[in-house]
Amino acid sequence: MKMNRSHTVPLSKQALRVSQVMEPVSRHRPWVFPSIRNPLEHMHQQTANAALIRMGFGGKLVAHSMRSIARTAGAGHFPREVLESALAHQKEDEIEAAYNRSDYLEQRRPLMQWWGNYVDAARRQTLLGEEEPLRIVEGE
């Protein structure tokens, strides 16, 4: 995690399923997604980007963009401080940081489940409750 700070992440049902699927591979390993070359290390930081390229998203999306997408999509549904805490962002205001030490863990549980559902809907090509399929919009 950033700056070697711990960050607790509540897992959605979808994330727990991924963990269960990976369990035979990572059962005795310190990482859910171990490196192919050295199973005692985590997968390379560019592995997700390479997968996105293979899926046809090269030049359109990188793994880190998922954080921006989640933050933007969640803005109308969750309080700013909960979203920022989910992204492990530090509080900008020094006074707030000094007095508000909440990690918003309980409020992040529904956020993470909402995000899991959002990703599932995108995988099915529709947004929650919408008939129009998702599509890639080319930049100008």
Domain boundary among 58, 73, 96: 58
Q: pLDDT band for 133, please (50, 70, 90 cuts).
A: low
pTM: 0.74
Give residue for tokens 């909440």. 102
The Cα 43–Cα 61 span in angstroms is 19
pLDDT band for 11, please (50, 70, 90 cuts): very high
Query: C-alpha distances in angstroms, 101 versus 43, 80, 84, 91?
Result: 32, 15, 13, 9
> Which range of residues forms the domain containing residue 20?
11-58
Predicted confidence (pLDDT) at residue 3 exceeds the cutoff of 90:
no
Task: Return the pLDDT at 84.
Answer: 87
Residue 117 in any domain: the answer is yes
Say if residues 67 and 87 touch (Cβ distance below 8 Å). Answer: yes
| pLDDT of 127 over the 60 cut | no
Q: How many domains does one find in the chain?
A: 2
pLDDT-derived band of residue 126, with 50, 70 and 90 as boundaries? low
Residues 80 and 25 in one domain: no
Tokens of 47: 């592995």
